[in-house]
């Protein structure tokens, strides 16, 4: 069956490019993907695929912007089900011009390849539906909003029970990567991507006229912040066992004073990335305690708010081994590589904590095509669209292998 998937996709190659470019030109931010959801649902319904909309609700009053398609094989009766996932949201980035398909929404851009992910799962789902007489079982197409923003659309879908009827035995997801050339696929078994938490600190002091700082016995929040940050870095590193990956990073410090004004407060924002849940919990307790101690020692206070983000992406070893074998059959062993762990986060993780999951990397880099070797989340980012056919084929072949197994 695997050898047929590329043939089944041939009539859809131009469509996948067109869908990707349409979505690229009309990007929508996390949990605002209303037109994107309508576009997906319309394409699926036009093929006769059963569709569920209004899923992944951010609040009870807000309509959900997720879409689920159900494709049923008709070769024989089977209660097997497998899920394919695509994320659909864009980023708040002003795009640099791409002739023919640049974003038409100022300050919003598909700079992480979610337009491509969506086009590939659309292509895979439609190709499977058109050839449904040749296979058995059910494929659930999961078009998920809000990957780029907490609480993550994946967590909403899981908590809503949207993946229970029918219940998939596993789920497959992919991400474009400029690190690999077109035609390559990358896999990693076990822990693949880090758990990510957001840190928000408000340092409270007592400000005033800068010329009277000693007379007024000011408590300078900037000085507290200057002492606090290296202390947090040092204490966090001490807590980490040798060889255990961890990142603590602060990227924002704001104190709205002036040359002659010491402000009352300073705000700090950062991120914590871990692979070990025990260490993660330890740091969740340690960092607020150290912050309070440092601020108090200098006469100030600190409000420490930690927003717990997505957990570790845990690729199921057995499922990943089977998907790797599918990839080798599809493109050859020389085009399938092992990936290192990544400190980046991905809310696909939520699926991997409730069912077997495999998240792989699709090569989209090509030195001959501008932007395709740019890093993700950059204004010049682009993909080599020749990769769309392989990404869709891998998703199809993976699903069919699981349904037949």
**Residues designated as active site:** 89, 147
> Are 186 and 180 spatial neighbours (Cβ–Cβ below 8 Å)?
yes
Among all chains, which residue has been given the structure tokens 């390849």?
A: 113
Q: Cα(342)–Cα(349) distance, rounded to whole angstroms? A: 13
Backbone angles phi, psi at 243, to 5 degrees: 85, -5
CA distance 189 to 75: 32
Q: Are 60 and 37 in contact (CB under 8 A)?
A: no
Count of H-run helices and E-run strands, the chain? 10, 16
Burial class (CB in 10 A: 0-12, 13-18, 19+), 237: exposed
What are the DSSP E strand ranges found in 160-242?
171-181, 185-187, 190-193, 195-204, 208-209
Exposure letters 60-74 (e unless 16+ CB within 10 A, then b): eeeebbbbbbbbbbe
User: Strand, helix or coil at 61?
Assistant: coil
DSSP string, 229-271: HHHHHHHHHHHSPTT--EEEEEEEEE---BTTEE-SEEEEEEE
391 Cα distance to chain centroid? 17
Among residues 68, 54, 166, 69, the alpha carbon closest in space to that of 127 is found at: 69
Residues 10, 393: contact at Cβ < 8 Å? no
């Amino acid at each position: 069956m695997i050898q047929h998937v590329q043939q089944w996709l041939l009539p859809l190659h131009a469509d996948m490019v067109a869908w990707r470019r349409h979505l690229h030109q009309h990007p929508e931010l996390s949990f605002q993907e209303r037109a994107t959801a309508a576009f997906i649902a319309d394409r699926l319904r036009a093929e006769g695929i059963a569709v569920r909309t209004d899923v992944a609700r951010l609040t009870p009053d807000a309509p959900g912007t997720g879409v689920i398609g159900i494709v049923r094989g008709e070769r024989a009766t089977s209660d097997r089900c497998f899920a394919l996932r695509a994320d659909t949201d864009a980023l708040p980035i002003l795009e640099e011009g791409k002739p023919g398909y640049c974003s038409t929404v100022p300050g919003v851009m598909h700079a992480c390849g979610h337009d491509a992910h969506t086009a590939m799962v659309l292509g895979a789902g439609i190709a499977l539906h058109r050839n449904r007489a040749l296979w058995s079982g059910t494929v659930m197409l999961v078009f998920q909003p809000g990957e780029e923003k907490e609480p993550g659309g994946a967590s909403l879908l899981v908590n809503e029970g949207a993946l229970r009827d029918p219940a998939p035995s596993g789920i497959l997801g992919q991400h474009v990567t400029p690190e690999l050339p077109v035609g390559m696929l990358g896999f990693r078994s076990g822990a693949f991507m880090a758990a990510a938490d957001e840190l928000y600190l408000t340092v409270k002091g007592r400000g005033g006229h800068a010329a009277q700082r000693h007379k007024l016995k000011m408590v300078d929040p900037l000085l507290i912040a200057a002492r606090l940050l290296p202390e947090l870095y040092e204490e966090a590193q001490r807590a980490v066992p040798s060889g255990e990956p961890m990142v603590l990073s602060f990227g924002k410090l704001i104190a709205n004073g002036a040359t002659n004004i010491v402000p009352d407060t300073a705000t700090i924002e950062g991120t914590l990335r871990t692979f070990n849940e025990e260490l993660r919990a330890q740091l969740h307790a340690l960092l607020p305690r150290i912050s309070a101690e440092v601020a108090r020692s200098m006469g100030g206070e600190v409000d420490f708010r930690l927003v717990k983000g997505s957990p570790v992406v845990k690729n199921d070893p057995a499922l990943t081994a089977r998907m790797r074998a599918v990839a080798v059959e599809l493109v050859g062993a020389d085009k399938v590589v092992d990936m290192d762990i990544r400190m980046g986060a991905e809310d696909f993780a939520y699926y991997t904590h409730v069912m077997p999951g495999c998240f792989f990397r699709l090569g989209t880099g090509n030195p001959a095509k501008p932007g395709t070797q740019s890093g993700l989340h950059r204004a010049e980012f682009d993909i080599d669209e020749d990769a769309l056919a392989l990404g869709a084929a891998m998703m199809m072949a993976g699903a069919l292998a699981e349904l037949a197994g």
